[in-house]
Chain A
């Protein structure tokens, strides 16, 4: 047990080192783009206000009527903030595939070495899973740090007359994307992360199916992913699908969601274990 944990930590560290360049690049882009957004978006707004006032000899009130007031939420809604989130999401979807396929394709076939390591092969699986999660959380943290830096910058650039004083938490909770990135409710936070974890488990299982059964594996993987993800995501979207004509209470939906998450997670883990130990091919 102790040895397995040691191997897991050692391999996770190795995988983290391999992720580092990609992660630092994403963190850099996120941080710089956010900083630009927190400076450029309010300055652009103030520029428009000043121009409007100068050209029309208008009052501040008239300018507000024309362009509306500015809150931190407006800064969050800009391309500079939303763009890096989209980039991060697509980056980690790509990396979830890349973390496996790079071992087979590319200059050298590192899959040989990995599969011949004297450690349980599921250690490789768990390490890759944890590394993707660490990467996602690190990127979210970067976004969070830039939020704290950006908040005073925005309020300093926008003149009080035009600024709607909104707390950071309020702005985050209003934003549909940030609501998922920084859920303030513990239950919601756990649900979001559990769903994320299971989605990743399903994806890894589908990849192992393809690595084990080639073309047949692609078909199998797609069918498995569609069925498993439908099961897992259905309770979350059920109220919307039924136009909020609830047939179940919220608490009942959460219990069903939790059961489905556990079933799909266990099934994915067992399938992956079987494939990586007995079916995978170099």
Chain B
């Protein structure tokens, strides 16, 4: 379980996270939603120790982040993070060199699934294919948790469909997924838990399906409710 307890984060004088607490469980898809600048990416960066927090605690299965836990949690940011002059194949070799959790068989499976050309340089790939390479680098790791930041941003409809398929495929089964997205329609039916952020705090934490069934509201309806207060 990824657990955030009373997490505070400031950017200069601006309070971005003001006592955020929630959990993301293994085997569940948790979605962080909120308008731009609400701190979704900051939360993911903070979990991966890529930005310091002012106060609070973040644990992964009860442990504070340390280097070997990067074999347990993978982060797929919304920017290209492998060297542009690497080919897809070289990028895979790089991952294999450093991560004991790198699963070569699964990596090959994903390259086939996404129809990636292994000999092509990352810099020469389209934005959609770069996003697929990012996904490949995260999904081919035998990790318990995957964090994804805006996996659909700036991506065409067909690639988006392919990425959506990932969520329902066995590539993420049994893992805990924590995702941020604005394109909530694409994955609403797959989400287990929604954490809605507003003004640095959690406005509401709910089960998407339950909300649909009991109150007849979609995730976007709840978001509207929050931001139209």
Known: A108-B122, A278-B52, A281-B52. A118 touches B99 (CB 8 A): yes
Interface of chain A residues 223 through 282 with chain B (CB within 8 A): 277-282
Contact (Cβ within 8 A) B71 A115: no
Contact (Cβ within 8 A) B80 A282: no
Chain A residues with CB under 8 A of B157: none
Chain A residues with CB under 8 A of B70: 116-118
Contact (Cβ within 8 A) A282 B68: no
**One of B25-33, B81-89, B217-225 at the interface:** B81-89
20 chain-A/chain-B pairs, Cβ below 8 angstroms: A14-B94, A107-B123, A108-B80, A108-B82, A108-B83, A108-B123, A109-B77, A112-B50, A113-B82, A115-B48, A115-B49, A116-B48, A116-B75, A117-B67, A117-B99, A118-B71, A119-B67, A212-B52, A281-B50, A282-B51
A120 to B52 alpha-carbon distance, docked (Å): 17
Task: Given contacts A118-B67, A118-B99, list 4 more A-B pairs with CB under 8 A.
Answer: A109-B81, A112-B79, A117-B99, A277-B49
The verdict on B226 contacting chain A, using a C-beta distance below 8 Å, is: no
Chain B residue nearest in CB terms to A112? B81
Contact (Cβ within 8 A) A112 B97: no
Q: What 10 A-B pairs come out closest when comparing CB atoms?
A: A112-B81, A108-B80, A118-B70, A107-B84, A281-B51, A282-B50, A113-B81, A118-B71, A109-B79, A108-B84
Known: A107-B123, A108-B83, A281-B52. A118 touches B98 (CB 8 A): yes
Chain B residues with CB under 8 A of A107: 80, 84, 123
Residue B77 contacts which of A10, A112, A118, A121 (CB distance < 8 angstroms)? A112
A106 to B83 alpha-carbon distance, docked (Å): 10
A10 to B137 alpha-carbon distance, docked (Å): 19
Interface size class of B (residues with CB under 8 A): 20 to 34
- Smallest CB separation, A274 vs chain B (Å): 11
Chain B residues with CB under 8 A of A281: 45, 50-52
Chain B residues with CB under 8 A of A10: 97-98
Chain B residues at the A interface, C-beta cutoff of 8 Å: 45, 48-52, 67-71, 75, 77, 79-84, 94, 97-100, 122-123, 137
Residue B81 contacts which of A110, A118, A120, A279 (CB distance < 8 angstroms)? A110
- Smallest CB separation, A282 vs chain B (Å): 4
Chain B residues with CB under 8 A of A7: 98
Chain A residue nearest in CB terms to B11? A214
Residue B98 contacts which of A108, A119, A278, A280 (CB distance < 8 angstroms)? A119
Known: A108-B81, A108-B83, A112-B81. A118 touches B68 (CB 8 A): yes
- Smallest CB separation, B91 vs chain A (Å): 9
Interface string of A134-161 (1 = CB under 8 A from B): 0000000000000000000000000000
Chain B residues with CB under 8 A of A277: 49
A226 to B55 alpha-carbon distance, docked (Å): 32
- Smallest CB separation, A215 vs chain B (Å): 9
Chain B residues with CB under 8 A of A279: 52
- Smallest CB separation, A7 vs chain B (Å): 8
- Smallest CB separation, B45 vs chain A (Å): 6
Chain A residue nearest in CB terms to B75? A116
Chain B residues with CB under 8 A of A113: 81-82, 137
- Smallest CB separation, B125 vs chain A (Å): 11
A195 to B203 alpha-carbon distance, docked (Å): 55
- Smallest CB separation, A121 vs chain B (Å): 7
A10 to B84 alpha-carbon distance, docked (Å): 20
